[in-house]
């Protein structure tokens, strides 16, 4: 409970606009990564559901991406759902090439076939942002052939 509240407070402070990006990356980066790897799903979810607010900083948080890829295979469906919701924001923050090379095969396409409907729905709900980042042509050439 305490770590969950700390994670939420950390995300609120990072998003509030009162701290410079460099301070957030240097000071909060290691804490974010630790909270994402916490043993309790509620702590992980506090960060995951708010990470899109600081998506512009994800390029400076390299460890977060590898953690998210691991979390896309979590046994808890709510964690997978939160990761699915975050993937389009990662594409927006890191670029289409990063999405295609790092996130598409191991996470996005796999989660599109997840056994839990809420996870699949989260992937579908993120399509407008992904289309905005990638464009109609890329979606039709690279995603539609898979399904």
Confidence band, pLDDT 50/70/90 cuts, at residue 143: confident
State the average pLDDT over residues 122-138.
Answer: 94
Q: Is 71 exposed, middle or buried (0-12, 13-18, 19+ CB in 10 A)?
A: buried
**C-alpha to C-alpha distance for 138 and 144, rounded to whole angstroms:** 9
Q: According to the model, what pLDDT value does residue 147 have?
A: 64
pTM for the full model? 0.86
Percent of the chain at pLDDT above 70?
A: 97
């Amino acid at each position: 409970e305490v770590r969950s509240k700390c994670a939420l407070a950390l995300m609120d402070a990072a998003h509030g606009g009162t701290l410079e990006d460099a301070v957030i990356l240097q000071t909060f980066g290691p804490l974010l990564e630790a909270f994402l790897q916490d043993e309790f799903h509620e702590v992980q979810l506090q960060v995951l559901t708010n990470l899109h607010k600081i998506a512009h900083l994800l390029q400076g948080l390299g460890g977060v991406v590898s953690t998210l890829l691991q979390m896309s295979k979590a046994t808890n469906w709510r964690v997978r759902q939160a990761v699915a919701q975050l993937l389009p924001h990662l594409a927006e923050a890191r670029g289409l090439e990063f999405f295609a090379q790092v996130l598409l095969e191991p996470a996005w396409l796999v989660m599109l076939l997840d056994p839990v409907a809420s996870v699949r729905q989260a992937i579908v709900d993120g399509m407008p942002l992904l289309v905005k980042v990638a464009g109609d042509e890329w979606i039709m050439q690279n995603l539609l052939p898979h399904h």
